[in-house]
Structure 1
Amino acid sequence: MRIYLPATLAMLREIHADSAVGPAPLTGFAVTPSLREWYLDDDEEVLEYAAFTQAARAALRLLDADPLAPRRRVVLSAEVPDNEVTLHPDLDRAVVRSTVPIPLERLASVHVDSAEAEPDVSAAAKVIMEADLGDEDAQFTVDGTEDHELEWYAVQEIPQLLA
């Protein structure tokens, strides 16, 4: 199963040093039966993008919790065996948990905001909790980050990305 894990650049540094994403359980996002049922479009790419977008939003929550992390969202795409993933529709339609740490070699790619996105990401990280609680102005700020496509990096490029 392809899962999308939210992270920060600070977390990515630790992941690279440890050669694994962990410890488990790891909360991520994926195309789940609940997401398929809820979403109006059955196009696999659209569904994957919906799960990916949820992971990018969760990265804002991680940035809110770590004021020292660079203000860039990070999403890790990983291939995880189905038997190592549990679904959690009680939390949200796309939420899954990996029951084991994910070795670096299972990462398919890394997605990171560009430097140009930092002002919008910083503003959104400051108000993500208010947006989650229904504040429309905060939601508008958070939605502004969706104007920034996260850049794609191969796993082998992590050292250069962190340099």
Structure 2
Amino acid sequence: MRIYLPSTLPALATVLADGEVRGAPITAFAVTAELSAGAGGRDGEELEYEALRAAADASLALLAEDPQAPRRRVVLAADLPDKLISPCPDTLHPAAVTVAGAVPLKRIASAHIDDTDATDDITRAVAAPDAGHDDEHELLWYATQELKYLVE
């Protein structure tokens, strides 16, 4: 199953150094049965995008917790066996899931990160992370081999 992990640039640096995403349990976002049930005719690609956007909103909360982190949302896309993923009952978002154990770096397929042009808008959004972030900034796609250049 494809999952989307909210992150920050400093946390990404730690993932690259450690070789895995740590922290049990790990909250991520995915196309869940609950999300699909409320799809209203949306296709799989649109649901994947909604899960990614939910992770981007969760990244705002992580940025609010780390005032030193560059104001750019980070979402890591990873592929894990379904047996490691379970619904996250303590959340309001239908795409939220819990990941059992760490997520190895080799399972990360890509990263989605704000461009530096979004910094001012993200800084404003961090002031109210629970409100989400609805703007014209799309997250940029990065291959895993490019990630080390983003955290140098």
Q: How does 1:8-27 map to 2 (within 5 A)?
A: 8-27=8-27
The CA distance in 1 between the partners of 2:90 and 2:40, in whole Å, is 20
**Residue number in structure 1 paired with 2:63:** 63
State the alpha-carbon separation in 1 of the partners of residues 139 and 94 from structure 2. Answer: 22
Could you give the per-residue CA deviations for residues 57-106 of structure 1, whole angstroms, max 9, x where no partner exists?
A: 00001111111100000000000111111112441211101101000000
Letter aligned with residue 127 of structure 2: K
Amino acid at match of 1:158: L
- 1:44-64 residue CA offsets vs partner (Å, 9 max, x unmatched): 000000100000000001111
1:106 aligns with 2:107: yes
Question: Which blocks of at least 5 consecutive residues in structure 1 are unaligned?
Answer: 132-138
Number of equivalences: 151
Instruction: Choose between structure 1 and 2: higher helix proportion.
Output: 1
Question: How much does 1:160 deviate?
Answer: 1.2
Match for residue 148 of structure 1? 137
Q: TM-score, normalised by structure 1?
A: 0.89
TM-score normalized by the length of structure 2: 0.95
Note if contact 2:29-2:51 (Cα within 8 Å) is conserved in structure 1: yes
SS where residue 128 of structure 2 aligns?
helix
Secondary structure of 1:34's partner?
A: helix
Report the AA paired with residue 98 of structure 2: R
Deviation digits for residues 98-149 of structure 1 (CA, Å, limit 9, x no counterpart): 10100000000011101000000010001224x2xxxxxxx6xx323xx111
SS of residue paired to 1:143: coil
* Matched letter for residue 80 of structure 2: V
Structure 2 residues without counterparts, runs of 5 or longer: none
Alignment CA distance shift 1:20-1:76 (3 Å):
same
Q: Which has the higher contact order (CA 8 A, sep 6+)?
A: 2
Classify the secondary structure of the residue corresponding to 2:134. Answer: helix
The whole-number CA distance in structure 1 between the counterparts of 2:90 and 2:64 is: 24
- The SS at the match of 2:60 is helix
> What is the distance in 2 between the residues matched to 1:41 and 1:77?
24
Runs of 4+ in 1 over 6 A off after TM superposition: none
**Structure 1 residue aligned with 2:129:** 128
SS of structure 1 residue aligned to 2:72: coil
Contact 1:4 1:51 in 2 (8 A): yes
- For 2:35, the equivalent position in structure 1 comes to 35
Alpha-carbon shift at residue 36 of structure 1 (Å): 0.4
